[in-house]
Structure 1
Amino acid sequence: MGTFFDFIIRTSVVLLVFLVPLAWSPWTFEAFEFSKQYLLFFLVLLGLFAWIARMVLVEREVRFKKTPLTFFVFLFVAAALLSSLFSADRWSSLFGHYGSFSDGLPGILASAGVYFLVTNAVRQPRFLLKPFFASAALAVFLAYLSLFGVLPQAGFNPVAENFESFSVFLAFLISLLSFFVIRPQQNQLPFAGTIVLLVSAFGLLLAAHESTNWAVVFAGLLLSLFAGLLQRLWTGEAGKIRGLGLPLLLLFLTFVALLSPAWPDLPWAFPLEPALSQRMSWGIALDTVSDNAKNLFLGSGPGTFALDVSLHKPVSLNQTDQWQTRFDRPSSFFAGLFATTGLLGFLLYLALLCWFFLVSLAFLRKQESMPFLLGAAVLAAGQVAHDQMTALQLSFWLFLGLCQVSWKIPARETRFSLPRTAEFQLAARAALLLVFLASAAAFFFGSRLYAADMKYAASVKAAPYFPAAGIEQGQEAAGLNPWQAEYRIFLSRLHLQRALAELQKPENLRSKEQVSKDVQLAIAYARGGSVEDQRIVGALELSSARVASWETLGTVYKNIASAPGALDWGIRSFETAIALEPANPVLHTELGKLYVKNEQFDKARERFQKAIELKPDYAQARMQLALIAEKEGNAGKAIGQLHDLVVRFPRDSETLFQLGRLYYNEGEVAGAISQFERVLAGAPNHSNALFALGLAYESQGRIQEAAQKFERVLQLNPGNEEVRRKLQELGRESIIRE
């Protein structure tokens, strides 16, 4: 039986090393991190269970090896648990933020599990290098297939969803391979295979130019050269130059790339994902821990960096092309760790790293440990430069553990000999059975979460074409995973869209009951409530600190503003959203629009001016300011302001349309036509501009041209009753019947 458990342990570790970097799912909405975290968690759970079962059933003794880092790892995990307990969003801490997952508590626990599994159950660390290199080679091969268009998904690599994280993995791989080129006697791969994989991995880096990526590669190559030459010195091979040529050439090329401000346009390239700068990431982290005493010591909670970005986003970000992007990851793992776990988690993690590298100095002469020390060092450098995705997370903790196994320190173990009485053996087996059942329950629970994300993916795919099917799939996703606010936000928006689509139908075909029910469901999925005796948990009940939840609720109420109390609820919703994301000019503008509907023009003007302060080139807020003048009865002033705005933003279709509308209302039909035609030149399917242009043509007696515009509006909006009436007035009934 001991052999069986050893096989399970060995297999689970090998599968971890080989499969996690490659895990990717086309069936779930979150294709990368969700699958990797799922696989990581359950393979670690399987390995730990087999390890415990072997001790209880075979060895009749519980043994736990103490490594130099054991104390620090336990303290870091305890800090993460404590931070999660007081998290700003407990569900994000418990499951990880949707889209990244590795930053949540399960990712931290799985990482610690990898470390303890390796240090307690792995005896020969080098056997794991072969599955690692096999996995890396397959990942590089798939990336090339994507790069050259063989795979349908452009820029695909199975390791991470963005090239920045993949580049850290490549730097890690390149550093290890360079070391083995310098020290071939320690290499377990054929020398030719090592060279091919090394050159291929470096070639992928040429497909995207980003200075931070090159800095990590440069640091890794320097470390590999230093480690290789140091071992040559100790073994009396310092005078040999064999094996140095390729690493030195790659180091030189990396240095040139690092200093190059730009990169030539290539026919093939990996897209770079927009990201926060290092300065912004650390600024957000510092602002977060400065909020209050709890954040200073415990942070905002694992998995909550997206909330920190919303709350402390710098205004300067509004002047960039990514001003509407809601970033959920820092540019540095350390910045995210500082923000989400506070001083306690951050300092404990730093202490863990410092103690590891300090202790490593005593074992530098151990040749077997050098590749693992090198790998851990490069990955730690990568954590400074980029956020840490699951494949990097696994690799770091794996190599941290393997390095200590390779030191072969005389084991310091905590031992508990188990009584050999029949009664105790029965109790021990019963306890082990409970652990097995708990593990099976966790697996079943995880399977539900995985199935939920598959349903969510199906819902997103179906919703634009088959709204009812999209809603059905979304409801199944929310049923399978009732703790994911993301699904409920999406369902709220789907129900609102269906209600608005129903309202576009002719009155005789419109279902008022369906509209009413969809509006109720849209509110319930956002806020929570009961619809037809069915209690629905809302996104806000799961995550009241998430801006998107409040923004969605405000949007629902904005679209039903004529309903009793809706306007007040909409205003409160957007006010709360602004409190959570004060630097977002869109939220201030949306709140201002609600104040306009409520005829609170001074408050509306204040919101629009705040939006302009946050983003001076935000045309929407400036346009709304001009429209307040119209509401106050000064159309001439409004036209003047809109005209100035059109000069500044000549391609803003909404501003052009509003200027045309005001011209038309003031009887300046020729000016109105000019503006509507400018709108349609940039947006041919702008329904309002088409309809308004039709009215303008009609007022000039250009009936044929007017009818053509109305027909086009009807094609775009088949159920629009007003357009049908217009066509009837113009004698185009045949078009309506068609």
Structure 2
Amino acid sequence: MAQFFVEETVIAEQEVGEEKPDIFYRAAQWCLLILAALLPVWFLPTTTSPVILNKVFFVSILTMVAALCYLAHAILRGRATIPFHYAWIAFLAALLVWVVSALLSPQVITSFFGVGGEVTTVSALVVFGVLAFMISALFGTPKDYARLMVALGIGFALFLLSVLFFALGGGRLLGGIFTDESFNTIGSWRSVALVLGFYVLLAYPFLLRATGRVRSVLAALFIAGLLGLIVVNVPITWGIVGFFAIMFLSYAIWQRVISGALLVVSLLLLVISLFGFFSQDIISAATPVVAPLEVNISHQATLGLLKSALGENLLLGHGPATFVYLWDRLKPLEINQLPFWNTRFAVGSSLLLTIPTEVGVLGALAFLTFLALVWLASLRAAMMNNEQWLFGLSAFVVLSYIMLVWALYPVGYTLVALGFIAIGFGLAVLRVTGLAPTYELVLFREGPSGFIASLFLVFLMILGAGGVYLSSTRYAGQVAFARGLDMFNREGNIESAETILQSAIRFDSRNSAYARSLSQLYVVRARNVAQANAAPRELLGSQFADVLDRAIRAGQDAIRASSLDFENYQSLGKVYEFLIPLGAEGAMQAAVTQYEEGLKRAPKNPSLFRDQALAYFAEAVRTNNTALLGKAETALQKSLELKPNYTDAHFLLAQIYDSEGNAPEAIRRSEAAALLAPNDIGALFQLGLLYYKANRLPDAEVVLKRAVANNTNYSNARYFLGLMYDRTNRRTEAIEEFEKIAALNPGNSEVQAILSNLRAGRPALSSIVPPPEERKSPPVDEN
């Protein structure tokens, strides 16, 4: 049977060489050419994440439309051309494991579709697989392959222009988040360097053999890419590029294609890579753009998480796109001592370490087998001594680069999409070099086989159309969600924001963030209704009850959409906590129950114990029940066991000590804690706050200064130190403290108001109510 198809393919390819591709075939090619050219620069200010969410929609739609056009082309021809390689068997095996793992996951919908820019969901794997397959099917001739390379070159040029545009401050023309010079169309700053490395290595082989204008264009892109790498200045990229410069030179000597140009370019690439890797400080001082701080998980932490996850489910893991929930539950306790302790990570230290954590050993083995087979095939193509060896070399180099990046770095959506484009043209080059067979599937045969083929074709078209529909509705939900948030945050229009958020949920009820945000919006509405003293009492009561009922229902909807996300339980707990001062029966217990559910999913998160303490404290204040103060204190002690320097917990603990009416005992306890841990900024802050409230201002100054000395960015310690200066008539020093706080916390309106008061000769807290020492949370949010 296989021999029959091979013979049929030879005849078909001869016929195709004579026939003109129809409009659907050309449309499919153009979809992928547009994707290749615009992928690195595509973004729109329509969603909460202008870059990633728009790229997901862009890639998904163009890939699915290309597949539908290719199916239409096959119907018109009466047969479908199927490029075959054994790697696709491994890919289908990986996809099967992904599906089974997703079905067994407690987050089935999330594992299949995700909620944003996840790269490990079932749907993402399908889109990436279809993308690679369509490239191999549509660009399997030297002419078509060259067109794809031109499209990638255009993408390279556009990306360089975009980096230059934003680095020179062009984003100010767009406003908003685009004004930052480090804004880019990839995502993270380090990813910009890795994408530049991808394009530099893609251009390198062609530069060595090109002539005339083509060589000039490639040389300009190559040099501009190296300059871009210098500006972005990321060590990992220099190391990888330098490694491949050595490989290039070794390959050329081995293949006996060494020339003066090759030697010069290879040595130039190697020297620049070494300079970039070992001269970080020099480059940083000379470049105009300050690289933003990026936070990633270490390989050690990821391996620890991987070990724990595989210990629970070795073969199939916990489900695709569940790494963030595993992180919440299993993260190392030491993370809580770091400044970014509450950052949630959707991927580990690298993509290839994230995959086994989510889909187990079976999924990882199948996916790695797929990558290995594609890599070996591209290596064969690179070693051929025919006129297409250059295509094979370019595919092999870029595939090797992208796999190394996937193994070392937590890549985002763009680098994964570029990786599957590389896989696609790595398989396409097998057709160009004649290393892979192409089968022809005849669609319109007599008998059952023809009917089955037609039925299968219709099934694929339904899947493609369904993919377009799901991608479109999800994107519509993302756009509506961004509009709803903008309507509330910028215009303060609660009614319009509510309507738009409800439409976002109708478009995509799978995203728990929509329902969670709607619940929080209802709480704001309830607070406004309660403060509307002019309204009739009966109407006020009915409106209030209705809005709160909606808030609770929306919070419950969020939990149903994502039962593993502790933030959904925390958000619903806040709704019940809002009811405690109003005397609602059972509100405190309902809030505590939600926080306990959250702790089951994030047992090392100190904020959940702090929230429990807030609920106990609010009920204790309302009922004058001192026993509840003890429960609140116990919850805060648990919070501080998880994070000893947790300012929020220390602040609330000082409030509880004060509420117990025994300030001397509270100070004695805090002095003992500070003595045991003299460098613990949390204990120092708590003691300084108690001194401040007891009007022991000289003692407060000493302790708060020590806290600031241990952490110069400790805004809350500076806040009360500044208030202490104001109360002791040292206005100049107070202004200096609050100016430092303003620099650390741009956009904090209260700090700006205090500075205005001080500069006008008024008390710092003039017109600011309630005073910070009477609040339940620190005045400056340092989370």
Deviation at 1:69, TM superposition (A): 0.9
Normalised by the size of structure 2, how large is the TM-score? 0.77
| Matching of residue 454 in structure 1 with residue 479 in structure 2 | yes
Contact 1:145-1:151 at 8 Å conserved across structures: yes
Tell me which moved more, 246-255 or 258-267: 258-267
Q: Read off the aligned partner of 1:177 and give its amino acid letter.
A: A
Q: Read off the aligned partner of 1:258 and give its amino acid letter.
A: F
| Matching of residue 3 in structure 1 with residue 3 in structure 2 | no
Q: Read off the aligned partner of 2:359 and give its amino acid letter.
A: T
Contact 2:246-2:266 at 8 Å conserved across structures: no
Q: Which of 590, 593, 599 is 1:569 aligned to?
A: 590
1:194-209 equivalences under 5 Å are 194-209=218-233
- Going from structure 1 to structure 2, the CA distance change for 1:213 and 1:411 (only over 3 Å counts) comes to closer
Distance, in Å, in 2 between the alignment partners of 1:500 and 1:645 is 38
Q: Which of 638, 644, 648 is 1:620 aligned to?
A: 648
| Matching of residue 115 in structure 1 with residue 136 in structure 2 | no
Distance, in Å, in 2 between the alignment partners of 1:385 and 1:248 is 25
- Going from structure 1 to structure 2, the CA distance change for 1:448 and 1:614 (only over 3 Å counts) comes to same
1:234-633 equivalences under 5 Å are 234=255, 236-238=256-258, 240-260=259-279, 262=281, 264-265=284-285, 266-290=287-311, 292=312, 295-366=313-384, 367=389, 368-407=391-430, 408-409=433-434, 411-413=436-438, 415-420=440-445, 436=461, 439-464=464-489, 465-504=492-531, 506=533, 511-527=540-556, 538-561=557-580, 562-596=583-617, 597=619, 599-633=627-661
Deviation at 1:687, TM superposition (A): 8.3
Distance, in Å, in 2 between the alignment partners of 1:102 and 1:40 is 12
Deviation at 1:496, TM superposition (A): 1.5
Deviation digits for residues 33-85 of structure 1 (CA, Å, limit 9, x no counterpart): 22222222222222222323333331x23453321312111111111111211
- Going from structure 1 to structure 2, the CA distance change for 1:633 and 1:423 (only over 3 Å counts) comes to closer
- Going from structure 1 to structure 2, the CA distance change for 1:47 and 1:652 (only over 3 Å counts) comes to farther
| Matching of residue 677 in structure 1 with residue 718 in structure 2 | no
Contact 1:76-1:349 at 8 Å conserved across structures: yes
Q: Which of 28, 37, 40 is 1:18 aligned to?
A: 37
Tell me which moved more, 637-646 or 158-167: 637-646
Distance, in Å, in 1 between the alignment partners of 2:212 and 2:122 is 35
Give the 3-state SS of the residue equivalent to 1:298 in structure 2: coil
What is the aligned length?
A: 675
Q: Read off the aligned partner of 1:479 and give its amino acid letter.
A: R
Deviation digits for residues 657-715 of structure 1 (CA, Å, limit 9, x no counterpart): 66555659xxx9xxxx9989339754899989x99xx9xxxxxxxxx989x96755499
- Going from structure 1 to structure 2, the CA distance change for 1:644 and 1:149 (only over 3 Å counts) comes to farther
- Going from structure 1 to structure 2, the CA distance change for 1:512 and 1:207 (only over 3 Å counts) comes to farther
| Matching of residue 178 in structure 1 with residue 204 in structure 2 | yes
Distance, in Å, in 1 between the alignment partners of 2:367 and 2:573 is 40
Match of 1:42 in 2: 61
Q: Which of 216, 225, 229 is 1:192 aligned to?
A: 216
Contact 2:654-2:690 at 8 Å conserved across structures: no
1:75-154 equivalences under 5 Å are 75-98=93-116, 100-124=117-141, 125-152=145-172, 153=178, 154=180
Distance, in Å, in 2 between the alignment partners of 1:411 and 1:214 is 34
Distance, in Å, in 2 between the alignment partners of 1:331 and 1:188 is 44
- Going from structure 1 to structure 2, the CA distance change for 1:399 and 1:483 (only over 3 Å counts) comes to same
Which stretches in structure 1 are left out of the alignment for 5+ residues? Answer: 528-537, 695-703, 717-738
Deviation digits for residues 317-347 of structure 1 (CA, Å, limit 9, x no counterpart): 2222211222223231112112111111111
Tell me which moved more, 113-122 or 642-651: 642-651
Distance, in Å, in 2 between the alignment partners of 1:654 and 1:462 is 38
Deviation at 1:548, TM superposition (A): 1.0
Contact 1:578-1:584 at 8 Å conserved across structures: yes
Deviation at 1:437, TM superposition (A): 5.8
Q: Read off the aligned partner of 1:454 and give its amino acid letter.
A: V
Normalised by the size of structure 1, how large is the TM-score? 0.82
Distance, in Å, in 1 between the alignment partners of 2:417 and 2:669 is 57
Q: Read off the aligned partner of 1:331 and give its amino acid letter.
A: S
| Matching of residue 635 in structure 1 with residue 663 in structure 2 | yes
Distance, in Å, in 2 between the alignment partners of 1:201 and 1:674 is 50
Distance, in Å, in 2 between the alignment partners of 1:554 and 1:23 is 39
- Going from structure 1 to structure 2, the CA distance change for 1:611 and 1:632 (only over 3 Å counts) comes to same
Deviation at 1:480, TM superposition (A): 1.7
CA RMSD of aligned residues (A): 3.8
Q: Read off the aligned partner of 1:550 and give its amino acid letter.
A: Y
Contact 1:41-1:110 at 8 Å conserved across structures: yes
Distance, in Å, in 1 between the alignment partners of 2:685 and 2:96 is 55
Distance, in Å, in 2 between the alignment partners of 1:96 and 1:217 is 33
- Going from structure 1 to structure 2, the CA distance change for 1:69 and 1:514 (only over 3 Å counts) comes to same
Give the 3-state SS of the residue equivalent to 1:242 in structure 2: helix
Indicate the percent of aligned positions where both proteins have the same amino acid. Answer: 20
Distance, in Å, in 1 between the alignment partners of 2:771 and 2:749 is 12
- Going from structure 1 to structure 2, the CA distance change for 1:70 and 1:675 (only over 3 Å counts) comes to closer
Give the 3-state SS of the residue equivalent to 1:64 in structure 2: strand
Deviation at 1:14, TM superposition (A): 1.1
Distance, in Å, in 1 between the alignment partners of 2:74 and 2:212 is 32
Contact 1:332-1:384 at 8 Å conserved across structures: yes
- Going from structure 1 to structure 2, the CA distance change for 1:360 and 1:677 (only over 3 Å counts) comes to closer
Match of 2:83 in 1: 65
